[in-house]
Amino acid sequence: MSKSTSYSDATQVVHAGSVVDEKTAALSPVIVTSTTFEQTSPGVHKGYEYSRAATPTRDQLETALARLENTQYALSFASGLAAEQAILQLCDQGDHILSCDDVYGGTRRLGEKVWARYGLTFNYMDTCHLDKVETYLKQHTTKMLWIETPTNPTLRIMDLQSLGALAKKYGCLFVVDNTFASPIFQKPIDFGADIIVHSTTKYISGHCDVLGGAVMTSQTPIYEKLQFLQMATGAVPSPFDCYLLLRSLPTLALRMHKHAENALKLATFLSNHNKITKVIYPGLPSHPNHELAKQQMSGCSGMVSFYYDTDLEGIARFSQSCKLFYLAESLGGVKSMINHPAAMTHVSVDKTVRESLGITDQLLRLSVGIEDPEDLIADLKQALK
């Protein structure tokens, strides 16, 4: 459970979840690896009984994550998709979920290939169009309104305030994936979100060395259901993974501002390159949701997408010619990465659907790291030759 403070994010990330060990006075998190804990009497314990239910290290992480998102509660999971799985388990057979169409490929796969078999139904639409969302919610009984903002990979920005109001009006849970923005640049709870989900593998970890997910909420009934699901299904992170995430949090604000600073410089460079037909970055005035991004985000993160005017062979040559950008899945690490969504992160999405969303063979996505931006620009410049 978290307590609200007036500290800035830069201070919060350093101190949130910090607990001085009573026995050793250690300032760094103590990793408690025990899977079981002694009970003073049958069923009577000191807060811990079995590590699937809770561990001291995981409690520290969850306290920190809740404070960063300004929520009352947080729960950590073994991956981002494990966190999403728990959220969908709040639904009953026959329930309906409305999602933004430009949703992470793994999220769409989880819904269509797994949960559809158990009676959940999913529909997708461009949730930037608020009138269409309201028309749909009027005509359908919807359990959840599920969005990302910015979206992956076309970086669309959703109007959190308006969508939150619509979800409340029509009685559905408002779920926001805040992975791309991070808690540093956006806090969906302030705009009416009921549930916030993260792949902590990405920016919160920041080093591409730990897999994790998290769910945040301020509603006690939702938290209690999710806490039961976390314990009952067992998709929990190890104490060491929790420690790694706690180790990463103190630098989160520094990293995010450097990611965003670098991304804007690279997006500007690409916008002026004759081989690039379009650059998508919310921090650019050319982005169709630029003003909305400024209203609800304090920074535009480190993700840049662009269309390169070449064929698949040219895409391969370009990505293989980069020396500082690693051709790899995932994002949010200190090292810069390049991704071809159509062949990598979104390959599980039907090609017709992909292309209708703008995820064509010419689209590339950059996760801009914290290197010197001039070196990154020089790397892109030589690769584009």
Q: Is 202 a catalytic residue?
A: yes
Q: Which of 104, 136, 203, 281 is catalytic?
A: 104
Does the annotation count 177 as an active-site position? yes
Catalytic residue list contains 307: no
**21 catalytic residue (yes or no):** no
In 3D space, the residue among 342, 344, 379, 381 whose CA is nearest the CA of residue 362 turns out to be: 342
246: Cα separation from own chain's centroid: 17
Q: Which residues contact 186 (CB under 8 A, 6 or more apart)?
A: 149, 160, 178, 296, 297, 298
Half-sphere exposure of 21 (CA within 13 A, CB side): 12
d(CA 235, CA 109): 18
């039907």: which residue's tokens?
350
Cis peptide before 150 (omega within 30 of 0): yes
Task: Name the catalytic one among 143, 156, 202, 258.
Answer: 202
CA separation for the pair 28, 251 (Å, rounded): 14
What does DSSP say about strands 363-367 and 303-308: parallel, antiparallel, or unpaired?
Answer: antiparallel
DSSP letters spanning 180-194:
TTHHHH--GGGGT-S
Instruction: In whole angstroms, give the CA distance from residue 380 to residue 303.
Output: 15
Q: Which of 59, 102, 177, 241 is catalytic?
A: 177
Catalytic amino acids?
A: 52, 104, 177, 202
